[in-house]
Amino acid sequence: MAKNWVALEAWAPLGQGNADLFKEPVITKMAEKYGKDAGQIILRFEHQEGVTVFPKSVHEARIKSNMEIFDFELNSAEMDQMRALDKGKGMHDPDAPGVEEMLSQYDVHAND
């Protein structure tokens, strides 16, 4: 996707409040280590993976918290631990065969 200047975006990147995700021991251990909350660990992971994240919140404290992910960095072992949490249940796979080609053919100005 990068060769076509396409950035992967994550809308509601915190699983829309998936409580199980926020209780995941791997994530809570990292949160404790860095003095962050689980959501910040998840957002930092996605940011380091090169994903443009759009966390949704209407609560001022959460909006501020979502921005406090740039003062720490997950190390490579932690990134691997986060990747290992993938249960393969994502709605969309941007790396699936044909997706990049399909997106590159999409006319974003068709309705201009």
Report the CATH number at residue 77.
Answer: 3.20.20.100
pLDDT in tens, 29-58: 999 999 999 999 999 999 999 888 888 788
Residue 111 included in any domain: no
**Number of structural domains the chain divides into:** 1
Domain span including residue 53: 2-104
Residue 95 included in any domain: yes
More confident residue, 13 or 102: 102
Model-level pTM? 0.70
Q: How would you classify residue 49: left for phi > 0, otherwise alpha for psi between -120 and 50, otherwise beta?
A: alpha
